[in-house]
Amino acid sequence: MSAKVTAPLLMVGSVALENEEHVFEKCGRLLGDALFALPDGETGERAIWVTHEAYRLFRPHPDVETVAAPVGPTGREIWHPMHLFNCWVFKLRDGVKRLHFERLPRIDDALNSYKKFVNYRNKGVIPKGVKFQLCIPLTESVMGWWFRPNFAHDYPIIEAAYADLMDREMKRLLKAIPADDLVVQWDICFEVLDLVRLFQWTPKEGAWERFIEPIKQVSRMVPDDVIAGYHLCYGTLAGWPMKEQEDLALSVRMANAIAKEAGRRIDYYQLAGPRPNRSEETDFYKPLEKLEIGDARVYLGLVHDLDGADGLRRRVRMARRYLPDFGISAACGFGRRPGEEMETTLKTHRQDVDAFLDELKRA
């Protein structure tokens, strides 16, 4: 079976522009020829990623108790976190043994964005053939940051409720968006950081199961004619990465497990790359030799603003010693990089794509 994804560039998710129209306009014109799919940028309240679920899914739920809320510089409550220890904190109310969510607000946003996406593609701003990309956080990523006081108790209840919600919402999504025009990307961040023991409120036991069991559930909810991918992330709250990896061994192990356990074809994986100063460390990339993911496309997070095309070229050469064929991406989305800096970042993406393609021709 031939690979469904071959494009050189992946946009990971969030793009810190004013709204989805600006994302479609700027990214479509600047980067569309290098993409197989384009997200709506997760603008507005979604810019701080799963804070959107904290604020819109958990906070108003009658079976969820708010223990703490983020506080701004003036001491007043705000909706978004300032850092890891100034976040929403929740727990399930006493006696709650089963939870039910009516809908996922992220899906409502996607359905609204898709109509605009089609309009921009019909106008030629987004190239024909580029699909609509929807990024959805996996179970622990959507709740792990917030449910700290009783995590071990609350997690399995929320896991079951989220799986039920995703099953219903995937069906609602596919009633409005044709399967062959959709890319579903599952975002995995908290799970990665849980496995490297960044958090003190999660039990050490069961971290691998908290990562792999939801994948067995949600992957099967996506029909085979929808392109599906996984983004494995080391986090950007308070700076990327939240915990720097020594090499790509854990990312490779996780990708191999997803390929084995997903129960359906996975078309691409995004693996976070190194900091710029690790450009010459070939051992960082050596675990790529052990990938067992079939013909799925790998996107390595090798694009960094700090060292431009020259740094990218060095990292590409190092990585190709162990994986000859791959695409490139940033390490994560750009939810906290607004304004003029975002414009510079997108232009860097264009320069890096051109440098990447040139490097492949030289090899």
Identify the architecture of domain 20-63+95-362 in CATH.
Alpha-Beta Barrel (3.20)
Across 40-53, average pLDDT? 91
The pLDDT mean for the chain works out to: 92
349, pLDDT greater than 90 = no
Domain range summary for the chain, segments of one domain joined by +: 20-63+95-362
Residue 58 is classified by DSSP as I
Quick one: pLDDT at residue 339?
Answer: 57
pLDDT digits (tens, 9 = 90+) for 88-108: 999 999 999 999 999 999 999
85, pLDDT greater than 60 = yes
Cα dihedral 20, 215, 189, 291, rounded to 10, equals -110
Tokens of 26: 């700027």
Write down the residue that tokens 């290098």 correspond to.
Answer: 34
Judged on CB neighbours under 10 Å (0-12, 13-18, 19+), 122 is: exposed
pLDDT digits (tens, 9 = 90+) for 277-310: 666 778 899 999 999 999 999 999 998 877 778 8
First to last CA, the chain: 26
Rounded Cα distance between 342 and 16, Å, is 6
Quick one: pLDDT at residue 342?
Answer: 82
Quick one: pLDDT at residue 1?
Answer: 54
Rounded Cα distance between 287 and 291, Å, is 7
- Nearest by Cα to 49 from 240, 305, 236: 236
14, pLDDT greater than 70 = yes
Query: What are the residues whose beta carbons fall under 8 Å from the beta carbon of 10, sequence distance 6 or more?
Result: 35, 37, 229, 268, 270, 299, 327, 328, 329
Quick one: pLDDT at residue 282?
Answer: 83
For residue 218, give Cα distances in angstroms to 7, 40, 228, 257.
Answer: 25, 22, 11, 14
273, pLDDT greater than 60 = yes
pLDDT digits (tens, 9 = 90+) for 233-259: 987 776 667 777 889 999 999 999 999
Task: Give strand pairing partners of 230.
Answer: 186, 269
Is residue 34 a contact partner of residue 353, using CB atoms and an 8 Å limit?
A: yes
337, pLDDT greater than 80 = no
Quick one: pLDDT at residue 293?
Answer: 98
Quick one: pLDDT at residue 68?
Answer: 94
Which parts of 138-250 are beta strand (E)? Answer: 182-188, 227-232
Quick one: pLDDT at residue 311?
Answer: 87
319, pLDDT greater than 70 = yes
SS3 227: strand
pLDDT-based confidence at residue 261 (cuts at 50, 70, 90):
very high
Is residue 101 a contact partner of residue 161, using CB atoms and an 8 Å limit?
A: yes
pLDDT digits (tens, 9 = 90+) for 192-215: 999 999 999 999 999 999 999 999
Rounded Cα distance between 357 and 34, Å, is 10
Is residue 293 a contact partner of residue 269, using CB atoms and an 8 Å limit?
A: yes
